[in-house]
């Protein structure tokens, strides 16, 4: 059984906090702080030739079932149309994009949130000459 969000936040377990840029970690009750500039960026080329930059927050935390990722899609980049195996949320921070969801196409922009249910297919690409910046959240197996 997968834990729900409420159970994770109410667990009250001791977590490990690392101080950015120092390599120093300590046990602190209840939170982990990560700063984007200290997270290793993952660059990837998706179809179209544009650059996609990913920031995977909390990826090194043990016993944490969520993926929380910031993704920056430059013009020409895209998240390839794919089948979603678990519920996933895309939240658009800035820019405009074209979302393809189960063969329906619609525009998303800053402030848009899209919940893709397990078993659905989707893809996303930026529109215009600006970057499309989004947060992606889902539970991992």
Q: What pLDDT digit, counting tens, does each position of 42-58 carry? A: 887 666 678 899 999 99
pLDDT at residue 29, rounded to an integer:
67
Between 45 and 118, the more confident residue is: 118
Choose among 41, 44, 10, 15: nearest CA to 28. 15
How many C-beta atoms lie closer than 10 Å to residue 49's C-beta? 11
Domains observed in the chain: 35-139 (2.60.120.10)
88 in helix, strand or coil? strand
Mean predicted lDDT score pLDDT of the chain = 82
- The answer to whether residue 59 scores a pLDDT higher than 80 is yes
Strand (E) or helix (H) holding 9? helix 5-10
Between 61 and 4, the more confident residue is: 61
- The answer to whether residue 91 scores a pLDDT higher than 80 is yes
């Amino acid at each position: 059984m997968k834990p729900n969000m409420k159970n994770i936040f109410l667990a009250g377990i001791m977590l490990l906090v690392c101080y950015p840029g120092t390599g120093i970690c300590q046990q602190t009750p209840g939170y982990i702080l990560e700063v984007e500039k200290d997270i290793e960026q993952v660059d990837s080329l998706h179809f179209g030739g544009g650059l996609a930059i990913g920031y995977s927050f909390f990826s090194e935390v043990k016993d944490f079932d969520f993926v929380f990722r910031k993704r920056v899609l430059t013009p020409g980049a895209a998240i390839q149309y794919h089948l979603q195996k678990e519920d996933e949320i895309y939240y658009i921070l800035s820019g405009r994009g074209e979302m393809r969801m189960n063969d329906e196409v619609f525009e998303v922009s800053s402030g848009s949130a899209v919940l893709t249910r397990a078993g659905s297919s989707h893809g996303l690409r930026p529109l215009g000459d600006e970057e499309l910046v989004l947060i992606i959240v889902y539970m991992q197996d």
